[in-house]
Chains A and B, each alone.
Chain A
Amino acid sequence: MNTVAVTVVAEMRGVCKRFGRVNALDAVDLTVSSGEIRGFLGPNGAGKTTAMRILVGLLRCTSGETRVFGGDPWANPEVRTEIGFLPSDAGLYGRMSGCALLDHFAALSQRKPVLREHACLHLRMSDEDLRRPVRTYSKGMRQKLGILQAVQHDPALLILDEPGEGLDPLVLNGLIALLRERRDEGRAILFSSHVLAEVEALCDQVTMIRGGRIVGEGTIRDLAQRRARHLVLELQDAATEIEIAGAELIDRTGTRVALSHRGPIQPLLAALAALPLQDARIEEASLDEVFMEYYGEAAER
């Protein structure tokens, strides 16, 4: 991995966006730095696409501040030279060949498509594919072309709205490898996805949004650690009393005890060491559970 100085390339501070009476974003803070892949998670209608569109200057925030490479993307189109954007509903000109379409978007970006061939290899897109008219493409092929137009000019910031949609596992692996490679080259990547395995495999940082508000942020590990752990203990004696700070009994059957625990790990390990155990298993919450728990809590609020 190359050593690259980390700089903030895109940030939103207290951004609100209203569409009539609908509050699409409410005081959203979001930062994307160079050399980072940030996953943007949220259920449908949470505000992910709205936030991404504000970052590329397609929407104007009602209040708050958005900066991309130090400039306002709404007012300064030139900051978009360094952005590669894939919207979730990317419309590609069907009458053009794949190659002509990529040339067109490279020309609009005012940049050479230096990464096209390399990205084609990762996404398994052949020259023959690129010579065909886009209207003959399958959904997956269109998605690959959409990703290609976003990455081909090697932008410093990639904003990808559900890039894994419609891709087969082989191509998805290629995409993950490509994005990791870009991250290692110091590029900043913000991407949204519903596939949590994808996020877990790829992201350094995760931001969770629901109902237009950020409900969680951090590394996947941080988020998981803030959530409850699952403990399954096998006691030597069924009558043993168990008192562990932060732990909650879920089930007790004979010598087998199931607990959930929140809080730092060290006191937990110390408490477990004092118990007469035959066996102990500690499981971190999966990202799915973290995800569901965050949204459950947010929904309750």
Chain B
Amino acid sequence: MSWPLIQRLVYEQRYRFALELLLIGAWGFLLVALFATSDTFSRMLDQQAQLLGPMLALTGLDPLAQWASIGVQHPIFLLGGGMFAIGLGVRAIAGELEDGSLALALSRPISRRAWFLSHVAVLVPGSILLGLIYGVGCLLAAVLTSPRGHLDPVSLVVAGAEAGLLLLSFGAMALMFSAFASERGRALTWSVGTLIVMYAVSYLLPLWSVAESAAKLTPFGWFAPGPIIQHGEIPWSDLIALVSFSLVPLCVAGWRLQRRDLAGG
């Protein structure tokens, strides 16, 4: 890894990442605060949970745990957290190649492996932090608004870490596409397009009984924060699967970067 490179990446991300943390934290806070203060909203939630329960692994959970779980599977969370992970992944290779800065940096005594690992070193804690901050927002709202039900801090940390692993898999996929592309736009299109398809496969295809297990082909299919928030159980198989969904594209990206020509933007 290259420490100057990590410093630069952190410097570049400082405002955007702080805003994303704020957005995700505020999202967690807002959900629990709404739940605590609006009866109509709670009733609506109960109805929706009955409807969507089997799909989002919400069956048998407390309303508050259901709600906190929905929040972390909601497109707003995925978009807010995904912006960081996908943005970093896409810029890491294709973006810097297009800008002409990759040629400058790699003309220095930095190996491609160090370049790649430095980006991973920023991507991993950043994604996990975004997942954790959601739990912090929920907990803060729970303390301030005393909603019906209970949120356990440790369980929220575990669920946050799982959400972070999901975001990490987005970033890993973006890095993989970035390693194959020469333009930021192409890498971004492939990354976002693939995520949309996987989201649809995960949440819509299972409604059709023939394709019930199709969700397991995507990281979303292994992401079930509801039981963690309610019971504090650590779903090791889910965590291992989510780590694999990050590791495989990261290995492919590293392999590709190691071999590809950097012919310029």
Contacts and interface: CB of A to CB of B under 8 A. Distances in A.
A143 interface: no
Interface residues of B, number: 28
A90 interface: yes
Contacts of A149: 104
B110 A105 contact: no
Given A49-B264, A59-B261, A95-B12, A108 B108 contact: yes
Contact of A80 (B99, B101, B102, B108): B108
B261 A77 contact: no
Given A80-B108, A108-B108, A53 B4 contact: no
B5 interface: yes
Contact of B104 (A85, A95, A96): A85
Interface in B50-101: 96, 99-101
Interface string A76-105: 011111010101011111011000000011
Contact of B109 (A53, A77, A104): A77
A58 B103 contact: yes
Interface in B108-165: 108-112, 114
Interface residues of A, number: 33
B162 to A, nearest CB: 33
A92 B7 CA distance: 16
B77 to A, nearest CB: 27
Contacts of A79: 109
A83 to B, nearest CB: 6
B109 A91 contact: no
Chain B interface SS verdict (over half): helix
Contacts of B196: none
B106 interface: yes
A94 to B, nearest CB: 9
B106 A58 contact: yes
A107 interface: yes
A108 B96 contact: no
A104 B101 contact: no
A108 B261 contact: no
A93 B109 contact: no
Given A104-B4, A108-B2, A92 B109 contact: no
Which residue, B104, B106, B265, has most C-beta atoms of chain A within 10 A? B104
Interface in B228-265: 261-265
B104 A59 contact: no
B209 interface: no
A60 interface: yes
A278 interface: no
Contacts of B263: 19, 50, 53, 58-59
Interface in A103-141: 104-105, 107-110
B107 interface: yes
Contacts of A93: 8, 12, 101
B261 A60 contact: yes
A96 B261 CA distance: 27
A109 B109 CA distance: 6
A91 B107 contact: no
A50 B103 CA distance: 12
B110 A87 contact: no
A251 to B, nearest CB: 47
A19 B111 CA distance: 23
A57 interface: yes
A105 B105 CA distance: 7
Contact of B99 (A81, A91, A104, A108): A91
A56 interface: yes
A60 B265 CA distance: 17
Contact of B100 (A56, A57, A87): A87
A215 B106 CA distance: 30
A91 B4 contact: no
Interface string A14-58: 000001000000000000000000000000000001100100111
Given A89-B265, A91-B265, A109-B108, A53 B5 contact: no
Nearest to A58: B262
Contacts of A90: 100-101, 103-104
B242 to A, nearest CB: 33
Given A87-B103, A91-B265, 5 more contacts: A79-B109, A91-B103, A108-B4, A108-B5, A110-B108
Interface of A: 19, 49-50, 53, 56-60, 77-81, 83, 85, 87, 89-93, 95-96, 104-105, 107-110, 146, 149, 159
6 contacts: A53-B262, A58-B107, A92-B104, A105-B105, A107-B4, A108-B5
The list of the 8 closest CB pairs from A to B, nearest first, reads A91-B100, A107-B4, A91-B101, A85-B107, A91-B99, A108-B108, A58-B262, A89-B100
